Amino acid sequence: MQDEIDLHSPRGKLAARLRDVIERRWSAEVQAIGVHGSLAHGDDHDSSDVNVLVVTYRPGAGPRPALRRVDGVLVDLEVVAGDEGLRRARELTSRWPLEADRHLTTRALHDPRGWFAELRDTHLTRLAAARPPEFTTLARHNWALASAAHARAVRLAEWYETDAALVLLAEARLHTALVTGLLTRTYFRNAADAVKRAGVAGVDMQELTGVLKEHAEELAARGRPVDGDLTALFD
């Protein structure tokens, strides 16, 4: 997959330099190195980050995780043991629409044993085995978070706490987008991509009320309403 990565851009060159340093210093501890995000998708630009994933043979080995600027570029260096990375790929969480992209699109800079292909296959196998109620349950969780954030945003706006209301409105939009992603089994590249593709990036509080109502109706149609009595809490 290495030929799919633009190693000639400033971010690509930096990723290659990082790979070379890591291979040289931790050659016996690292089994794979890859990039996700814009470099993996082939559309990085001047404001892009460099997202590097280092896979080690055992926990605690290899370089330390880091988030800092290098030569003016933000580098997010994540380190995970191989078994742990594959375990995460088998999980479905309420943030699946934001997590799946790295399981499926991470591109190898160094991967002699095909770990990233195994990562992708592991996640695809999990998705194939997942039943619709699993995604519905996770969507219902995000709906509750979106609804709560939306209610607090409305109250803060009534109190003229505009900045705080905007923060919570953004939170409500994101969780609403995650509901859409889970109900349609759609994953996104990041939070900004999620709200844009889910169609809630520019909605105001009143419009978001309508979207949440539609989601509530769909979740109820899929087996259980979003609001119920105490006994429903334990179903």
Is 148 part of a structural domain of the chain?
Answer: yes
Indicate if the alpha-carbon torsion angle 147, 177, 67, 115 is positive or negative. Answer: positive
The two three-digit tokens of residue 217, written as one number: 């109706």
154 and 118 within one domain: no
144 and 115 within one domain: no
113 and 207 within one domain: no
Q: Helices (DSSP H) in the chain: which residue ranges?
A: 10-25, 38-41, 82-89, 96-105, 115-129, 132-158, 162-184, 191-197, 205-221
Length of the chain: 235
The two three-digit tokens of residue 2, written as one number: 């290495």
For residue 81, give its domain range: 2-129
143 and 32 within one domain: no
C-alpha 179/C-alpha 175 separation (Å) is 6
Q: How far is CA 52 from CA 38, 117, 175, in A?
A: 11, 16, 26
Is 64 part of a structural domain of the chain?
Answer: yes
174 and 74 within one domain: no
97 and 8 within one domain: yes
The per-residue pLDDT for range 225-235, each reduced to its tens digit, is 999 888 877 87
The two three-digit tokens of residue 133, written as one number: 């109620």
Look at residues 129, 164, 191 and tell me which one is the last residue of a structural domain. Answer: 129
Find the CATH number of the domain harbouring 93.
3.30.460.10
Looking at residue 235, its pLDDT comes to 72
Question: Total domain count for the chain?
Answer: 2
Task: List per-residue pLDDT tens for the chain, 235 residues long.
Answer: 344 678 888 999 999 999 999 999 999 999 999 999 999 999 999 999 999 999 999 999 999 999 999 999 999 999 999 999 999 999 999 999 999 999 999 999 999 999 999 999 999 999 999 999 999 999 999 999 999 999 999 999 999 999 999 999 999 999 999 999 999 999 999 999 999 999 999 999 999 999 999 999 999 999 889 998 888 778 7
Q: How far is CA 163 from CA 85, 153, 174, in A?
A: 38, 10, 17
Number of CB atoms found within 10 A of residue 112's CB: 8
12 and 105 within one domain: yes
C-alpha 22/C-alpha 27 separation (Å) is 7
If you search the block for the tokens 């851009």, which residue do you land on? 9
